[in-house]
């Protein structure tokens, strides 16, 4: 059985390696879909949606209205520090694919019920583009 819940957050980023528009500072209204697969418990629940929210929200609260910046992007980090602007420094380029893996790892390391066998995360940068990754627990 599979359950899913959708979450949203606002975040800025840039892709310095990109030769097109994405090298510029910009942001997205990100959306993510978290899917959990497992056998329902005796009450017929894979996981309480409320409990899932308690796992995912703190992870996204850290990102919301922040600028996600790769640790290699020194100029950007310095600019954000000068502006006293919220930032999350990560060790990867901030593509949707990498953000997807980042969220998947965070959720995987959170305390999930034992019946959960698989997690899938889909990150949408826009209405019509997404990255998706899944892992067994």
Q: Give catalytic residues, as residue numbers.
A: 22, 65, 125
Residues 6+ apart with CB under 8 A from 16: 23, 70, 72, 73, 76, 93
CA dihedral 43, 47, 52, 54 (to 10 degrees): 50
How far apart CA 4 and CA 32 sit, in angstroms, is: 10
């Amino acid at each position: 059985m599979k359950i899913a819940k959708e979450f949203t957050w606002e975040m800025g980023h840039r892709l310095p390696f990109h030769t097109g528009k994405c090298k510029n500072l910009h942001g997205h209204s990100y959306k993510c879909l978290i899917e959990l697969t497992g056998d329902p418990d005796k009450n017929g629940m894979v996981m309480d949606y409320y409990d899932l929210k308690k796992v995912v929200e703190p992870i996204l609260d850290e990102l919301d209205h922040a600028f996600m910046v790769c640790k290699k992007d020194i100029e950007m980090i310095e600019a954000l520090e000068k502006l006293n602007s919220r930032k999350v420094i990560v060790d990867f380029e901030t593509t949707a694919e990498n953000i997807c893996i980042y969220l998947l790892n965070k959720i995987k390391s959170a305390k999930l019920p034992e019946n959960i066998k698989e997690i899938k995360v889909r990150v949408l940068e826009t209405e019509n583009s997404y990255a998706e990754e899944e892992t067994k627990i």
